[in-house]
């Protein structure tokens, strides 16, 4: 009887194993088909974005697809890198229509969707993908053809998309396996170059002090993660460059009708909250900026 049960059990297990193998074979077939479909979709999207004469799908739809491609779990990074490259092509095409006489507001909204997609890609846990996404985001923000945005629009872009990303990456930098030193340096460089390039637009904001305070806190949060001030030299120099641009723009000018003195007090109060050695270095380059600005004004 035991032999009969054993034989029956073995036969049953054999049938189960056969069915599982059949299912696995079918699943692998489906997976292969999906991979081929993804590859075809990837190539079609690349064609539509790179060919200026080709009709382009709505930017939001393109971003959804591109984000999926960036998240691809393929062992190599060819697809994520290719998707990021296509995201920049999408940025260029959408931005080209921002200056058009018709539909400029709609094009701006579409460009912000593309920017948001790039910012989301910057949160990728793979350092190589995150690095490329940050470079892409920097290129998008610093694109000189993006001149049709109002100061309030830049403020919204910073506060809704760029600052939250930068704060999250700076916070993750303190964790094991979090944001790497090179990526943190990119965050500091991205923000500093953006402030330097868009200083005239940003300084015109009635609430510029809020934007400026957020910048100092994020940069300080990134720089203080460096083991020593020597390793944060580039970031300190970038802060100094921003200070010089702000001084030339008159942000720190003192006078009866100016809040320049208050802005300077606010700046150093925020800087002093950073790690002492970093704070001293930032003060030094900031004061050098004051000397340079004064010399420039006298020469005029």
Encode pLDDT of 240-293 as tens digits. Answer: 999 999 999 999 988 767 788 899 999 999 999 999 999 999 999 988 856 555
Indicate the residue among 148, 172, 202 that finishes a domain: 148
Residue 26 lies in a domain: no
Domain that residue 114 falls in: 37-148
With respect to residue 298, please indicate whether it lies within any of the assigned structural domains.
yes
40-70 exposure pattern, b = at least 16 Cβ within 10 A, e = fewer = eebeebbebbeeeeeebbebeebbebbbebb
Provide the token pair at 224: 């203080």
* Residues 95 and 165 reside in one and the same domain: no
d(CA 39, CA 226): 41
* Nearest to 39, CA basis, from 6, 85, 72: 72
Residue 18 lies in a domain: no
Whether residue 234 is found in the same domain as residue 271 = yes
Q: Examine the domain organization and report whether 82 and 197 are in the same domain.
A: no
Residues 183 and 274 in one domain: yes
100-114 per-position pLDDT tens digit: 555 577 788 999 999
Cβ(281)–Cβ(232) below 8 Å: yes
CA 205 to chain centre: 23
Domain total in the chain: 2
Residue 31 lies in a domain: no
Question: With a cut of 70, which residues of the chain have pLDDT below it?
Answer: 1-55, 99-103, 256, 289-300
Global pTM? 0.79
């Amino acid at each position: 009887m035991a032999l009969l049960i054993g034989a029956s059990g073995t036969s049953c297990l054999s049938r189960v194993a056969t069915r599982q193998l059949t299912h696995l074979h079918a699943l692998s077939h489906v997976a292969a088909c999906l991979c081929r479909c993804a590859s075809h979709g990837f190539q079609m999207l690349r064609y539509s974005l790179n060919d200026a004469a080709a009709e382009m799908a709505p930017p939001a739809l393109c971003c959804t697809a591109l984000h999926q491609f960036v998240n691809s779990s393929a062992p190599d990074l060819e697809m994520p890198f290719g998707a990021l490259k296509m995201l920049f092509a999408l940025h260029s095409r959408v931005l080209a229509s921002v200056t058009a006489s018709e539909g400029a507001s709609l094009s701006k909204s579409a460009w912000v969707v593309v920017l948001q997609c790039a910012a989301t890609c910057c949160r990728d846990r793979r350092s190589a993908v995150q690095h490329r996404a940050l470079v892409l985001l920097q290129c998008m923000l610093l694109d000189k053809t993006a001149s049709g945005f109002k100061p309030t629009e830049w403020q919204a872009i910073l506060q809704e998309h760029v600052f939250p990303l930068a704060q999250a990456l700076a916070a993750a930098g303190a964790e094991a396996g979090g944001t790497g030193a090179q990526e943190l340096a990119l965050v500091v460089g991205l923000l500093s170059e953006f402030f330097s390039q868009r200083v005239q637009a940003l300084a015109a904001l009635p609430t510029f002090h809020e934007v400026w305070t957020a910048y100092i806190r994020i940069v300080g949060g990134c720089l203080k993660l460096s083991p020593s001030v020597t390793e944060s030299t580039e970031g300190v120099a970038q802060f100094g460059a921003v200070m010089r641009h702000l001084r030339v723009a008159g942000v720190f000018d003192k006078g009866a009708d100016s809040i320049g003195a208050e802005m300077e007090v606010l700046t150093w109060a925020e800087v002093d909250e950073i790690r002492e050695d970093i704070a001293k270095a930032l003060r030094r380059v900031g004061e050098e900026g004051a000397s340079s600005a004064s010399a420039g004004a006298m020469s005029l």
